Amino acid sequence: MSTLELETMRCEVNGLLARLRLNRPEVLNAANRAWVQDLVTVTDFLTHDVQARVVLVSGEGRAFSSGMDTKELARENITIDWFETWERGVTALAELNAITIAAIQGYCLGGGLQLALACDLRIASSDAIFSIPAVKEGVAAYIATVRLARLIGAAAAKELCLLGRRFSAEEARALRLVTEVVPLTMLEERALAMAQELLSIPFPALLYTKRQIDRAFSQDIALFQHEMTAVYEDCLRSTEHAAVKAELKAREKTP
């Protein structure tokens, strides 16, 4: 077994199975700058340094990930570079030469859901809560909008992204956003069982099938990412986004 220990996450590799664990449980695995940089580091590790065929992604503690750490936003640490680094890590996860499974419990919000969407398969516990609330923070939902629309269709994706509302695990299953919903006590067992099932299937066939399905959607992600940089610059300069940051700063100063 080999292990990569980082500040905000760790990756354990045991033979052909890798386990990527988000590890900021004290803040529900919210993403700060270190988290974003660690995601790039760990996906680079999985791309170049190990031969894992299945990667299981989960969060320590009570949540998968509650998304962007609002303290980063309040302190004006959220920049174009922050988003581009984030997406570099998420895209690397989506493009791994492995089958990826997200085991989701508790909050799976914003960037947390974006991370789950980059996985090939998703299992949720019955207590899971989902949302993409980016518009309420005065920004666009970045490339998650494309991944979500491809997965559940444009109409459903617009409803979720434009309203930014929260929805349950059962709603996620009805939308086919998650494959299964299981009791929290069974999430670990079921995710590992799915991983073992995948490991029993000839890997070249699995990887080829994954790649062919991904190619069924022809829009170039790199081109879309370039276009979204300009969108984000506009969002970050907007008065609405400034108001969100000001409100968050005021909350931080309140005892």
Q: pLDDT tens digits, the chain, 255 residues: what are they?
A: 889 999 999 999 999 999 999 999 999 999 999 999 999 999 999 999 778 999 999 999 999 999 988 777 667 666 778 788 888 999 999 999 999 999 999 999 999 999 999 999 999 999 999 999 888 877 777 667 888 999 999 999 999 999 999 999 999 999 999 999 999 999 999 999 999 999 999 898 899 889 888 877 755 666 666 666 766 677 677 776 677 777 877 777 776
The Cα 24–Cα 72 span in angstroms is 14
Q: What is the pLDDT, as a whole number, of residue 153?
A: 93
Domain total for the chain? 1
Range of the domain at 36: 2-253
Exposed (0-12), middle (13-18) or buried (19+): which is 253, by Cβ within 10 Å? exposed
189: domain CATH number?
3.90.226.10
How far are the Cα atoms of 19, 39, 69, 138, 160 from residue 33, in angstroms, in the given order? Answer: 22, 10, 9, 19, 26
Torsion angle, CA of 14/19/24/30, rounded to 10 degrees? Answer: 160
Do residues 57 and 23 make contact, with C-beta atoms less than 8 angstroms apart?
no
